[in-house]
Amino acid sequence: MSGSTKAMTIVTCAALVLITAYTVALGSSGWLWFGWIVLGVATLGMAAADSADAVTVPRGPRAGGTGPAAR
């Protein structure tokens, strides 16, 4: 996980704690929860993109594969 993805995860968790505290103290706000869901989906997207970058695809001919003959 890259540094920016870790930071986004921390911000998302902190926002969840703050929104929960706000809801307990002052009552629920649909817009706050909607905003948190959007933030969570963006965080999941960053994590998915980050993990997709970590997958390496071998390049070049396969061992024993067919291809042009060496000269």
pLDDT tens readout for residues 21-71: 999 999 988 999 999 999 999 999 999 988 877 666 556 566 555 656 666
Distance from C-alpha of 37 to C-alpha of 57, rounded to nearest angstrom:
33
Give me the pLDDT at residue 46, please.
92
Q: How far is CA 62 from the centre of its chain?
A: 32
Distance from C-alpha of 36 to C-alpha of 28, rounded to nearest angstrom:
13
Give me the pLDDT at residue 51, please.
83
Which tokens is 39 given?
A: 């933030």
Q: The whole model's pTM is what?
A: 0.68
| Amino acid residing at 33 | W
Give me the pLDDT at residue 33, please.
93
